[in-house]
Amino acid sequence: MRIRLAEIIHIEDIELAKKCARGDDKARKELYTRYAGSLYALCVRYVGDRELARDLMHDSMIKVFDTIGKYKPTGSLKSWVSKVTVNLVIDHIRKSRKFQTVSLEEKQERIPEPDKEEMRLVPKEELMKMVTRLPDTKRVIFNMFCVEGYSHKDIAAMLGIKEKTSSSLLFKARMQLADEVREYIRRND
């Protein structure tokens, strides 16, 4: 009988979560070491402020440790920890900022997005900088929809906005990013 690497990792995730739930400090340190970097990057993507992102990442780790007993091994531990972090960041954003209301156009023009070849001309670090420069509401919705995979219905419920507002802000974020990508390519061509 052959065990796949993914199954071994999943078993390790379950054991690590169980040890953390029992208050094992060594396991908690392991979990922190394993995920702190990616959670920090996730927080930076949402809030665009490195200092605030560091605070939110630490808060999310505390929440993870407090709620790890609720982890269900139906998915990876990393996915669960990331979801806890996204929810914490969204709560913070919702409490600290009011989302802008936007006028909705009945017809949104189709903005040509850069093709894959153009995208290869832009380093990943530059793309991340472009995302972090988006205004708060656009950045949050872009991350929730494009990176985390939430639907507009889910985004609307989580942020207390209308689905059409979410859709409109995503459209505007994509338009802004497409402009920045084209400008970057033009400057570096």
DSSP secondary-structure letter at 69? G
Sign of CA dihedral 78, 84, 87, 93: negative
Distance CA 43, CA 106 (A): 33
Residues 43 and 60: beta-carbon distance below 8 Å: yes
CB count, 10 Å around CB of 42?
23
Distance CA 81, CA 61 (A): 8
Residues 181 and 114: beta-carbon distance below 8 Å: yes
Distance CA 43, CA 75 (A): 21
**Burial class for 127, CB neighbours closer than 10 Å (0-12, 13-18, 19+):** middle
pLDDT at 112: 55
3-state SS class at 112: coil
3-state SS class at 70: helix
Structure tokens at 135: 């205004």
Tell me the one-letter amino acid at 35.
Y
pLDDT at 119: 66
User: Tens of pLDDT along the chain (189 residues)?
Assistant: 455 544 555 788 899 999 999 999 999 999 999 999 999 999 998 888 899 999 999 999 999 999 999 998 887 899 899 999 999 999 898 887 655 444 444 344 455 556 666 667 788 888 888 888 898 889 999 989 988 888 999 888 888 889 999 999 999 999 998 888 888 888 887
Structure tokens at 133: 């420069």
Taking the whole predicted model, whether its pTM rises above 0.95 is answered as: no
Q: How far is CA 187 from the centre of its chain?
A: 29
